């Protein structure tokens, strides 16, 4: 797990889930302006707020990839057998 996600990773994670900024704000128990400001890099938001966004996206199935020579990234987590439908 990354210590903190970047604004680009947050946007990418939401896109993979087809999640809106208001949905992320609600799930992470944050104000919409916090999510918007973080993703647009308008201001520095608290580490706690970034952690809440990251945890909400991870719980929804996003996996954040740390910088490993190819740059940080984001992908959907492969479902565990018990999570698969059918």
Which 3 state secondary structure label does DSSP give 6?
A: coil
pTM of the model: 0.86
Q: What is the CATH number of domain 7-76?
A: 1.10.260.40
- Tens of pLDDT, residue by residue over 34-63, are 999 999 999 999 999 999 999 999 999 999
Indicate if the alpha-carbon torsion angle 26, 28, 31, 36 is positive or negative: negative
Cβ within 8 Å of residue 42, ≥6 positions away: 36
> Which of 52, 8, 16 lies closest to 34 in space, CA to CA?
52
Q: Structural domain boundaries of the chain?
A: 7-76
User: Which tokens go with 3?
Assistant: 């210590």
pLDDT at residue 2 is higher than 80: no
């Amino acid at each position: 797990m990354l210590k903190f996600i970047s604004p680009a990773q947050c946007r990418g994670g939401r896109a993979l889930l087809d999640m809106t900024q208001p949905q992320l704000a609600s799930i992470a128990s944050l104000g919409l302006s916090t999510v918007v400001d973080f993703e647009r890099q308008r201001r520095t938001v608290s580490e706690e707020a970034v952690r809440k966004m990251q945890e909400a996206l991870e719980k929804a199935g996003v996996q954040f990839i740390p910088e490993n020579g190819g740059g940080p990234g984001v992908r959907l987590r492969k479902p565990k057998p018990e999570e698969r439908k059918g």
